[in-house]
Chains A and B, each alone.
Chain A
Amino acid sequence: MSDPILSIRNLTVDLPKGGDRQYAVEQLSLEVAPREIVCIVGESGSGKSITSFATMGLLPKVLTPSTGEIRFGGQDLLALPASEHAKLRGSQMAMVFQEPMSALNPCYTVGTQIEEMFETHTELAKSERKARVMKLLEEVHLPDPARVYASYPHQLSGGQRQRIVIAMALALDPKLLIADEPTTALDLSTQAQILHLFKELREHHDAGIMFVTHDFDVVAEIADRVIVMQHGRIVEEGSAEEVLNRPKHPYTRLLIDAVPRRSRDARGAPAEDVLLSVNALNKIYHIPGNMFKQARDVHACKDINFSVRKGETLGIVGESGSGKSTLVKCLIRLEDPNSGEVLINGTDLASCSRKELHPYRKMIQIVFQDPYGSLNPRRTIGDQLIEGPVNFGADRAKSMERAKELMRIVRLDPDALNRYPNQFSGGQRQRICIARALMVEPKVLIADEAVSALDVSVQKEVLKLLNEIRDTLGLTVLFITHDLRVAAQVCDNLIVMQKGEIVERGNVEQVFGAPSSDYTKMLLDAQPGKDWDVPDISTLPPVAV
């Protein structure tokens, strides 16, 4: 291997006083060689982003590197004045962020923004600049580069915007490309394309790529070398093949063990009687026109039909815009469907008026995606848990008893009921949300991307908890997700949605083993790390720590 482009030695970044630990990053050393993709993996708070920000010289002011050096192109970046460091950014090193919309300026066309890179750092003439931009747009496989050149960021899709950001990063052929969770905000199929693009870049450019991610599947897809971080320290480092298949450090093993398997947990068949059935459900959003735009209708759900038996877990899988969220909103009647039936035990919830609906509300409950937005920050946990029963006329004191009981079921301290949500971590909050939904003893529980925002190890625990609760309470669960692996692990049956329609249905083996629709095939194909068989950690030889 040739000389490294970037080598970080003994880097320590201090956290401001009063944080939960003293250092954001402690004694960190790593190297990135040309034509190499180094993946830094870790859960939230592991210091992986701090490392990339330190290299780019973009650390927030409260964080100061105290010791160590970052050597890049023969000089120590930490000793460099800010103005010199700024000159390197863009020309020698470039960064791709997670959220492409906020990385682009909405006021300028993307063409202008990429050209600006050449304007600032080179002496090229205008026509040459434009030619270079067009070439870049072609290189990142954007369709119709001329149209994209003249488009504003909002006119492009998320994946296209991320390509633009990558094109900008590549504009001056940097030696180092840092990508901070570049595919996390993207759909599965888009993610596959962007990852493919990164692999191509490794071939065509000499750049070294530092790829920060939390997703082991992504690591399996693109990494040459893997660095696993925990609490600001590197706990394991090695080639991708080695770390993924024969992890040595207990923490790495824990993380890999938490990666959802593609196989389903074995469990008994659900009962035969149908609990929930949805017939010919339609939801059309009417978007009124104005002087410049014609009014149009968006058909978010088209003739949705499915039924769920008691005790069954049905997975609803789809990418963003597939209509799965609208379907959920219609089921819990946050939106009124235009037509169709939602039958629970023979009662049609879709045709009830708001008033008639009230007693049926408790039949069907939901756990939302965002653990931070789904609890009211100004009310205690206890107060929020008893909200449901109290609304249905239960006694406060009795409800409080039940709340304590449920806190035990979701493995939280019952005494925590008088605390506020800010005192809990994301995983704990999600368990509180599950407890809140269970307070009214629902028949159907909808988990709307309930584990998507959680770290893998936390995700595993919450999934386990959900499974347990389902089995002990005999719940019927609708599991909405974009993550095929999670779906495969917890669901009995699956439906796949695309553009408001169900394009595939069947049990997990059918859908994954012999998909009938092209869309499902494409989704399965787009999964990162599909060639990686997650190793069974329990079979690995024990390693002394």
Chain B
Amino acid sequence: MTDTSSTNIPISPRQAMIRRALRHKGLIFGTVVMAVVILIAIFAPLLTEYDPYKQNLLTRMKPPVLLGGDPDHWLGTDALGRDYWARLAYGARVSLTIGIVAAVISATIGCTLGILAGYFGGRVDAVVTFLINVRLAMPVVLVALAVVALLGGSLIVVISVLGLLLWDRFAVVLRSATMQVRSLEYIAAAEVLGASLPRILVKDILPNVMNHLIVIFTLEMAHAIILEAALSFLGLGVQPPTPSWGLMISEGKEMLLFESWLITIPGVALFFLVLAINMMGDGIRDVTAPEGRN
């Protein structure tokens, strides 16, 4: 009388997820663009022989090949004669580093606070909710501007400031997700089976709120990249001569009317990166929680 399963064995949740992922066009687009940008960032030295810092005033303001420029510099050169493709490729490193590291810092802070608040409720929840409210009351751009202005702009300062400012959404979402999971019976069962608190949090809560975490992670990563560009544009982010897409836009703004490609190229790159990250986030949400899709 052994209960054997029927012939069509249902697939595991992971297999089902992979199947949905392969059918999701937005997710595939986002992932491909992201992968391309990451590869460019990693292999930048192999993709261009030019040094992004090396100035050459004899070859300044060359337009890209498409606009009739010099084939040696296929994306042209900037006002100081630096190769624009080299700066774009190395700039991807800055944008991605800022996006990923700032999101990791935020995720760590927000996740910890959110899960603790959701799991314990009561006073812990009250304190965390207060912290979230305090954080939400601060305008991110203004605070970032102020801090960077005080401490001086550098990659590390920008990353830490953004990392310390973007955890609110993680905390809010994970708090409510954890509350939901916490009320389920498998948590009670684990408690009754003598599981320690850290074990319950890591083994039972975290995997079941992971999909929310990944989605917010992508959103905040895009957010951080945009904020870095904005700070750099205002001259308070990464300092020249570091190649950064925001800085490139900022440096190109004086030429906006005459050499518009100086702004268009990093602008388009930024647009596609952020779009790709967001589409990836949406895709992951659809794929991991298909019931939430409308």
Q: Which of A's residues lie within 8 Å of B, judged by CB? A: 20, 332, 334, 358, 361-362, 364-366, 368-370, 373-379, 384, 387-388, 391-392, 408, 411-413, 416, 419-420, 422-423, 428, 431, 433, 436-437, 439-440
Contacts and interface: CB of A to CB of B under 8 A. Distances in A.
Contacts of B199: 391
Interface in B185-233: 185-186, 188-196, 199, 203-204, 207-208, 210
B195 A376 contact: no
B139 interface: no
Nearest to B15: A420
B207 A362 contact: no
Contacts of A411: 1-3
Given A411-B3, A412-B3, A375 B194 contact: no
Contacts of B137: none
B13 interface: yes
B12 interface: yes
Interface string B1-24: 111110011111100000000000
Given A20-B8, A376-B208, 19 more contacts: A334-B188, A361-B192, A362-B193, A368-B189, A374-B185, A374-B186, A376-B203, A377-B208, A378-B207, A387-B190, A411-B1, A412-B3, A413-B2, A420-B13, A423-B9, A423-B10, A423-B12, A428-B3, A436-B193
Nearest to A414: B2
B284 to A, nearest CB: 15
A428 B2 CA distance: 11
B184 interface: yes
Contacts of B5: 413, 416, 423
Contacts of A423: 5, 9-12
Contacts of A377: 13, 208
A391 B196 contact: yes
Interface string B76-87: 000000000000
A413 B13 CA distance: 19
Contacts of A374: 184-186, 189
A374 B192 CA distance: 12
B192 A413 contact: no
A422 B193 contact: no
Contacts of B192: 332, 334, 361, 364-366
Contact of A413 (B4, B193, B207): B4
For the complex of A and B, list the 4 residue pairs with the smallest distance between their C-beta atoms, beginning with the closest.
Answer: A388-B193, A374-B185, A378-B207, A368-B185
A361 B193 contact: yes
B189 A366 contact: yes
B29 to A, nearest CB: 26
Contacts of B11: 423
Given A334-B188, A376-B186, A378-B208, A358 B193 contact: no
B3 A370 contact: no
A183 B144 CA distance: 59
A449 B4 CA distance: 26
A358 B2 CA distance: 35
Given A412-B2, A412-B3, A413-B3, A391 B193 contact: yes
B194 A361 contact: yes
Contacts of A433: 189
Contacts of B189: 366, 368, 374, 433, 436-437
B2 A368 contact: no
A433 B1 CA distance: 19
A365 B192 CA distance: 7
A440 B10 CA distance: 29
Given A387-B193, A387-B195, A391-B194, A373 B186 contact: yes
Nearest to A329: B188
Contacts of B204: 376, 379
A364 B204 CA distance: 21
Contacts of A20: 8
A431 B3 CA distance: 11
A141 to B, nearest CB: 35
A376 to B, nearest CB: 5
Contacts of A391: 193-196, 199
A116 to B, nearest CB: 27
Chain A CB within 10 Å, residue with most, of B4, B5, B10: B5
15 contacts: A365-B192, A366-B189, A368-B185, A373-B184, A378-B13, A379-B204, A388-B193, A408-B2, A411-B1, A412-B3, A419-B12, A423-B11, A428-B3, A431-B3, A440-B194
Nearest to A376: B186
A365 B194 CA distance: 10
Contact of A420 (B12, B185, B193, B194): B12
B185 A370 contact: yes
A437 B188 CA distance: 12
Contacts of A366: 188-189, 192
Nearest to B16: A422
Nearest to B192: A332
Nearest to B181: A376
A411 to B, nearest CB: 5
A411 B2 CA distance: 5
Contacts of A375: 186
B197 to A, nearest CB: 10
Nearest to B191: A334
A293 to B, nearest CB: 19
Contact of B207 (A365, A376, A419, A436): A376
A411 B5 CA distance: 12
B15 to A, nearest CB: 10
Contacts of B8: 20
Nearest to A431: B3
A408 B196 CA distance: 29
A461 to B, nearest CB: 9
Contacts of B203: 376, 379, 387
B16 to A, nearest CB: 8
Nearest to A423: B10
A161 B120 CA distance: 34
A44 B273 CA distance: 48
Contacts of B184: 373-374
Chain B CB within 10 Å, residue with most, of A361, A365, A376: A376
Contact of A365 (B193, B195, B196): B193
Contacts of A419: 12
Contacts of B185: 368-370, 373-374
Contacts of A332: 192
Contacts of B191: 334
Contacts of A379: 203-204, 207
A366 B190 CA distance: 11
Contact of A392 (B2, B4, B9, B194): B194
A232 B172 CA distance: 45
